[in-house]
């Protein structure tokens, strides 16, 4: 690891060990920031007793985690997948089917779903990573949509009717908490912290640099000895793994899933959106984006959408459009000095 | 299966395929021109269907007569979307690909909201038009007139597009801009103007498709989604940017869909199309007629 830290350090006129020292200090600082933010988030549901707001908090953290997972492939490695709903669905269905049909604890389902999703991501990546740009994005949409169709017509998993979780007393073993949403806040936060730590660990490693090189210029990366294809495959597997866990948690949280409600194309976009709004390929972008986007979505949906008048859609669409046009680098870039932002991009 | 049933399937597949080609060609045209995938393409189609519906309600005229007006309105909408939204997305210096995706996705959601606000989420249909519900009987092979009409409109539109692209200054400017934006600017062609007209043309073409579909398909705010997916597959299959690839791929998609429906349950009819698409793209990443 020592070798990678030195290559990672911003050189310039500083002596190598000095810049390496600064770099390590900066890295340690972001860990401290992380610890403080996560502790605050963990305490937050005790301050907010309102069930509706707790629901918003769960969704915000869940979307932050899902978007952070997407960010690994889309943001760091630059492969814009618009088919992550497939992995989300795999996680949701693996967890639900094991629990509802066989009585196996959802924890096992989360693990199984994650592994299956990672394998599926590799199986998809193997042929599709040869496709560039829009061709790759469209292929991911089509594969996810084909998956949706198959699940809709697969009776074993409930077909179009979906799967209903039975009602059970609150327990960590079954991940069911009807009385209290606080455990879900902590589960979603736990997943986000996991994805954050993976991103933190990988971003400045050999892999992370490989990914960014692949994102910027695959041909140049290849010529410098980056194993482009294997980098993409690794990013896809990690990304799918955590997306599936998010799917499983979501299924436990809402206790009813059907193909449309976990695998439709909308979700694939919704997973990407927080990271894009917050700052794609950054450590905190997904959380910042989710904190802005999800409460606005949820609150505007409950106050404007109830009548089915479509005003909530108008509002939401306009918001997405304006933010992505006004701040292509993401909201996070507002808080950085320009040079730093440029460095982060590069 | 009898011979007659087979011919029936082929014929309906061809008609549907021609309409799919018309749905997709605008998307392909815009992509070829400026490397932008319009994620609001399905919503353009949906708006065109509502425009037809609304105009029929207001004027009492037949949708066939109103079709040119719908196309003209969509032309204006397309140009406006370029000037108001896409132009800014093209200016983004960071993450341009994602900005395009999400700006047009935001627009799509907004347009759905507008449609829902104006027309409610209810399903609508145009029941009394000249063509509605009538079928042509060709010795036991039944073809619905609205689809025949749609297929003819599609052929005419592709013919017109061919003439436009090859015989007019605008067409040549379009082709030249697609080849090399910088060089085009040097010879004094205003790229922004060409792009705006390109978006107008793309939207007008999907507008024709919408006017055709409004006669025989249910109209609701989410109707764009299903057709958008078919349009993406068609365009990727034919080759992004290839106008006539879109026609050929539309026909293939229509035929494969009809053939799949013979073997699998109707709800799975798209699976054959998706499978074919994946197969083609894996062998030929640029699609059948695309350039990389």
Q: Do A141 and B232 touch (CB under 8 A)?
A: yes
Q: Kindly tell me if the per-residue pLDDT of B31 is higher than 90.
A: no
* Residue A222: predicted pLDDT: 81
Longest dimension (CA), chain A: 65
What confidence score (pLDDT) does residue B206 get? 96
Residue A28: its pLDDT value, please?
86
pLDDT for A12 equals 55
Average pLDDT, chain B: 88
Q: Which residue has the higher pLDDT, A100 or A20?
A: A100
* Cβ separation A142–B95 shorter than 8 A: no
Query: Whole-angstrom Cα distance, residue A241 to residue A235?
Result: 10
Of residues B46 and A137, more confidence is placed in: B46
Determine what percent of chain A is predicted with pLDDT higher than 70.
92
pLDDT value for A2: 39
Report pLDDT for A9: 47
How near does any CA of chain B get to the CA of A42, in Å?
A: 31
The answer on pLDDT for A110 being more than 90 is yes
Highest mean pLDDT out of A281-285, A296-300, B154-158: B154-158
Residue B199 has a pLDDT of: 95
B253-260 long-range contacts, CB within 8 A, separation 24+: B253/B17, B253/B20, B254/B13, B254/B14, B254/B15, B254/B16, B254/B17, B254/B18, B254/B19, B254/B20, B255/B10, B255/B13, B255/B14, B255/B17, B256/B13, B257/B13, B257/B16, B258/B9, B258/B10, B258/B12, B258/B13, B258/B16, B259/B9, B259/B13
Question: For position A346, what pLDDT does the model report?
Answer: 47
Mark which residues 153-192 of B lie under 8 Å from A by CB: none
Spell out which residues of chain A touch residue B106, defining contact as CB-CB under 8 Å. Answer: 316-322, 324
Cβ pair B234, B246 in contact under 8 A: yes
**CB-based contact (8 Å) between B112 and chain A?**
yes
Joined tokens for residue B105: 């996705």
User: CB A70: neighbour CB atoms within 10 A?
Assistant: 32
* Top-confidence residue, A9 or B280: B280
Q: What pLDDT score was predicted for residue A306?
A: 64
Q: Is B103 on the interface with A (CB under 8 A)?
A: yes
The pLDDT assigned to A248 comes to: 95
How far apart, in whole angstroms, are the C-alpha atoms of residue B54 and residue B153? 21
**Across the strands, what pairs with B175?**
none
Question: What does pLDDT average to over chain A?
Answer: 85
Does position B286 have pLDDT exceeding 70, yes or no?
yes
- Asked if pLDDT for residue A342 goes beyond 70, the answer is no
Residue A221 has which token pair?
A: 């990366």
pLDDT in tens, B57-107: 999 889 899 999 999 999 999 999 999 999 888 887 777 778 888 899 899
More confident: A276 or A305: A276
| Residues β-bridged to residue B242 | none
Residue B78 near residue B195 (C-beta atoms within 8 A) = no
Q: What is the dihedral of CA A60, A66, A71, A73, to 10 degrees?
A: -170
Contact A76, A249 (CB under 8 A): no
Q: What is the C-alpha to C-alpha distance for residues B258 and B266, in angstroms, rounded to an integer?
A: 9
Residue B3 phi/psi, 5° resolution? -60, -40
> How open is the CA angle B124-B125-B128, to the nearest 5 degrees?
140
pLDDT computed for residue A3 by the predictor: 39
**Chain B closest CA to A304's CA: distance in Å?**
11
Report the sign of the C-alpha dihedral through residues A19, A23, A24, A28, in that order. positive
Q: Which residue has the tokens 């093209």?
A: B90
Asked if A317 contacts B110 with a C-beta cutoff of 8 angstroms, the reply is yes
CB of B50 within 8 Å of a chain A CB? The answer is no
Site of tokens 């695998």: A263
Q: Is the pLDDT of residue B41 over 90?
A: yes
- Minimal Cβ distance to A314: which of B114, B267, B275: B114
pLDDT at B128: 75
Average pLDDT over residues A116-126: 95
* Bridge partners, B135 (sequence order): B144
Q: What is the mean pLDDT of residues A64-68?
A: 96
Round to whole Å and give the CA distance between B212 and B215. Answer: 6
DSSP B195: H
Which residues of B fall within a CB distance of 8 Å from A137?
A: 37, 101
* Res A305: pLDDT: 64
Please indicate if any CB of chain A lies within 8 Å of the CB of B129.
no
Work out whether the CA dihedral B119, B122, B128, B129 comes out positive or negative.
positive
**Residue A225: pLDDT band with limits 50, 70, 90:** confident
Tell me whether residues A310 and B96 touch, CB distance under 8 A.
no
Q: What is the mean pLDDT of residues B194-210?
A: 94
CA–CA separation, B194 vs B288, rounded Å?
A: 27
| Cross-strand pairs, A274 | none
ipTM field: 0.86
Which of A70, A215, A260, A310 best probes binding to B when mutated, by most B CB atoms within 10 angstroms? Answer: A310
Mean pLDDT value of segment A72-86: 91
Bridge partners, A164 (sequence order)? A256
pLDDT at position A66 is 96
Q: Return the CA Rg of chain B.
A: 19
pLDDT of amino acid A218: 81
**Cβ-nearest to B94 among A317, A319, A345:** A345
DSSP code of residue A164: E
Domain ranges of chain A: 42-263
Q: Which two tokens stand for residue A235?
A: 């990013």
Of how many residues is chain B composed? 292
Out of A80, A319, A328, the one facing B93 most closely (by C-beta) is A328
Nearest CA in chain A to B106: A317
Per-position b or e across B118-127, b if 16+ CB within 10 A of its CB: ebeeeebebe
What does the pLDDT read at residue A343? 54
Model confidence at A6: pLDDT above 50? no
Judged by DSSP in three states, B89 sits in helix
Coil vs helix vs strand at A340: helix
Residue A167 confidence (pLDDT) above 90? no
Residues of B in contact with A285 (CB under 8 A): none
Confidence of residue A21 (pLDDT cuts 50, 70, 90): confident
Q: Per-residue confidence at B56, pLDDT binned at 50, 70, 90?
A: very high
- Dump pLDDT digits (tens) for B132-149: 778 888 877 888 888 999
């Amino acid at each position: 690891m020592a070798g990678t830290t030195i290559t990672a350090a911003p050189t310039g006129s500083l002596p190598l060990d000095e810049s390496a020292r600064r770099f390590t200090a900066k890295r340690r600082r972001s860990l401290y920031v992380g610890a403080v933010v996560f502790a605050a988030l963990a305490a937050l549901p005790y301050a907010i007793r309102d069930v509706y707001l707790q629901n918003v908090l769960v969704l915000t953290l869940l979307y932050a985690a899902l978007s952070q997972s997407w960010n690994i492939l889309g943001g760091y490695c630059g492969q814009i997948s618009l088919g992550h709903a497939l992995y989300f669905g795999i996680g949701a269905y693996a967890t639900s089917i094991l629990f509802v049909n066989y009585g196996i604890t959802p924890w096992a389902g989360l693990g199984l779903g994650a592994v299956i999703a990672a394998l599926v991501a590799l199986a998809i990546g193997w042929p599709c990573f040869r496709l560039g740009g829009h061709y790759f994005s469209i292929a991911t949409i089509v594969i996810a949509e084909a998956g949706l169709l198959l699940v809709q017509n697969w009776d074993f998993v409930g077909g179009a009717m979906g799967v209903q979780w039975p009602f059970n007393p609150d327990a960590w073993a079954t991940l069911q908490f009807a009385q209290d949403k606080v455990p879900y806040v902590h589960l979603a936060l736990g997943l986000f912290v996991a994805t954050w730590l993976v991103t933190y660990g990988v971003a400045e490693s050999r892999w992370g640099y490989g990914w960014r090189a692949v994102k910027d210029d695959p041909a140049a990366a290849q010529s410098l000895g980056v194993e482009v294809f294997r980098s993409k495959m690794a990013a896809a597997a990690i990304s799918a793994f955590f997306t599936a866990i998010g799917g499983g948690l979501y299924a436990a949280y809402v206790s009813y899933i059907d193909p449309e409600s976990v695998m439709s194309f909308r979700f694939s976009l919704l997973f990407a959106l927080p990271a894009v709004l917050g700052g794609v390929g950054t450590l905190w972008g997904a959380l910042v984006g989710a904190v802005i986007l999800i409460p606005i979505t949820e609150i505007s949906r409950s106050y404007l959408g109830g009548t089915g008048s479509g005003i909530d859609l108008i509002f939401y669409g306009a918001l997405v459009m304006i933010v992505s046009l006004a701040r292509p680098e993401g909201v996070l870039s507002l808080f950085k000095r320009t040079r730093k932002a440029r460095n982060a991009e590069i | 299966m009898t011979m007659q049933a087979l011919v029936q399937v082929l014929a309906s597949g061809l008609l549907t395929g021609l309409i799919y080609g018309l749905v997709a060609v605008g998307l392909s045209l815009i992509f070829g021109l400026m490397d932008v995938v319009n994620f609001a393409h399905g919503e353009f189609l949906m708006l065109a269907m509502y425009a037809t519906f609304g105009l029929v309600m207001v004027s009492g005229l037949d949708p066939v007569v109103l079709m040119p007006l719908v196309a003209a309105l969509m032309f204006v909408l397309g140009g406006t979307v370029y000037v108001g939204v896409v132009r800014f997305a093209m200016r983004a210096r960071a993450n341009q690909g994602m900005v395009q995706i999400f700006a047009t996705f935001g627009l799509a959601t907004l347009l759905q909201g507008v449609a829902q606000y104006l027309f409610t989420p209810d399903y609508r249909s145009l029941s009394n038009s000249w063509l509605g519900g009538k079928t042509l009987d060709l010795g036991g092979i039944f073809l619905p007139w609205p689809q025949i009409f749609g297929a003819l409109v599609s052929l005419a539109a592709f013919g017109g597009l061919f003439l436009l692209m090859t015989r007019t200054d605008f067409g040549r400017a379009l082709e030249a801009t697609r080849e090399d934006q910088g060089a085009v600017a040097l010879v004094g062609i205003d790229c922004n103007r060409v792009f705006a007209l390109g978006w107008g043309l793309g939207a007008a073409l999907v507008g024709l498709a919408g006017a055709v579909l409004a006669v025989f398909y249910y109209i609701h705010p989410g109707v764009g989604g299903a057709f958008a997916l078919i349009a993406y597959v068609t365009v990727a299959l034919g080759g992004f940017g290839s106008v006539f690839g879109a026609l050929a791929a539309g026909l293939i998609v229509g035929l494969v869909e009809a053939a799949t429906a013979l073997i699998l349950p109707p709800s799975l009819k798209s699976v054959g199309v998706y499978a074919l698409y994946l197969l083609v793209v894996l062998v030929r990443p640029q699609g059948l007629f695309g350039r990389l």
